[in-house]
Amino acid sequence: MTDRTTAVEGRRYGCCPVERFHDIVMVMSNEKLLAHALDLSRRGHDESAGRILTRLAEAGDAEAAAHLGELFEHGSLECPETAARWYKLAAEGGSPRGAMRHALELDDPQEGDSEAAKPWYEAARKGLEQEAAAGHAASQYLLSKIYTLGWGGPADKERGVTLLEQAAQGGDLEAKFYLGYWYWGLPDRTEAQRATAIRLWREAAEGGLMSAQYNLGVNYATDPDMPIDFKESMRFYRMAADNGMLEALYNIGTMYQDAEGVEKDEALILHAGEQGEYLAQYYLMQAYEEGYHGLPVDKDEAAYWRQKCEANTGDD
């Protein structure tokens, strides 16, 4: 049987171990702690970010409460009820971001109350406009979504794109990521706009935005407009993998056999499988059953990964 422990030994994913958390909290101001938590979240370290945001939110920081709600709505800590609770507290504490998220919760088309949402939309827009005018890039980015998507009022895509450009120029990584896709999707896109989109994606990825790292890995491997560059694909996948993204680990595992110029690294796909990535588990099950991908036929290993797959999907 293959020694899985040896294969993955020495690799560490994640950051901000528990034993270092209290040391970090003691020496950083609340403003710097919030910035650190948001950076951790962008890099995919939701648990570490959550610990810091929870400490700040419980101490009355409304902006931290709003970001904590987003972590529970969209991150790996997903829990809609908890997200809604933090959004409400953030809104009541005066956070424009919290007011916006709380309004969206109230304005749910299935079970919401659009009338109750209106004052929160207004509070959010007013607060974000003030922050955006002062040059706050994150507020410019959120306000761009409000105008582009028509949250709480009529859509104004021209205004939304202008705000998105301002946020990107101000250094907001998410704004750079989405502005890149806006350029990429233009029906009459020029070569200069194509190059700008790629530059923005790379800036977001190299700045630490995990979603940008993963998407560049995909695009460099599959989109002929990039053009195809397996080495660059692997580089960005590794960034995302080092930040703990299991999908990136799986994709690296499949690339090592098929992509030109990519060195083998079985530890990555084994790690992805052990951490619960279903595609990696299925890949390993088939590989050991049939001897695919350069791995030997090994019925014990195949049975091990089949059991993992079934446990992951709930099959009997």
Contact 247, 214 (CB under 8 A): yes
Residue showing tokens 């959120």: 142
Residue 249 resides in a domain: no
User: What pLDDT shows up at residue 314?
Assistant: 63
**What one-letter code names the amino acid at 254?**
T
Residue 17 resides in a domain: yes
Residue 68 resides in a domain: yes
User: What pLDDT shows up at residue 26?
Assistant: 53
Give residue 247's Cα distance to chain centre: 12
Residue 44 resides in a domain: yes
Q: Three-state DSSP class for 268?
A: helix
CA distance 267 to 265: 5
Contact 140, 163 (CB under 8 A): yes
In the predicted model, residues of the chain with pLDDT beneath 70 are 1-28, 75, 112, 256-269, 272, 293-294, 313-316
CA distance 140 to 132: 5
Residue 38 resides in a domain: yes
Q: What is the pLDDT of residues 219-269, one digit of tens each?
A: 998 898 988 888 898 899 889 988 878 788 778 777 765 544 556 656 666
User: What pLDDT shows up at residue 257?
Assistant: 58
Contact 103, 124 (CB under 8 A): yes
Residue 135 resides in a domain: no
**In terms of C-beta distances under 8 Å and separation of at least 24 residues, what long-range contacts does 165-171 make, across chains too?**
166/132, 166/137, 166/140, 167/137, 167/138, 167/140, 167/141, 168/137, 168/200, 169/137, 170/135, 170/136, 170/137, 170/140, 171/137
Q: Three-state DSSP class for 264?
A: coil
User: What pLDDT shows up at residue 124?
Assistant: 96
User: What pLDDT shows up at residue 295?
Assistant: 76
Domain around 67 = 1-94
Q: What are phi and psi of 172, to 5 degrees?
A: -70, 120
Q: What is the pLDDT of residues 24-41, one digit of tens each?
A: 555 568 888 999 999 888
User: What pLDDT shows up at residue 266?
Assistant: 65
CA distance 189 to 265: 38
Q: Report the domain count for the chain.
A: 1
Residue 103 resides in a domain: no
Q: In angstroms, how far is the first alpha carbon of the chain from the final one?
A: 24
CATH number of the CATH domain containing 2? 1.25.40
For residues 99, 100, 102, 108, the Cα torsion angle rounded to the nearest 10 degrees is 150
Question: What's the chain's length in residues?
Answer: 316
CA angle 223, 225, 227 (to 5 degrees): 80
Residue 69 resides in a domain: yes
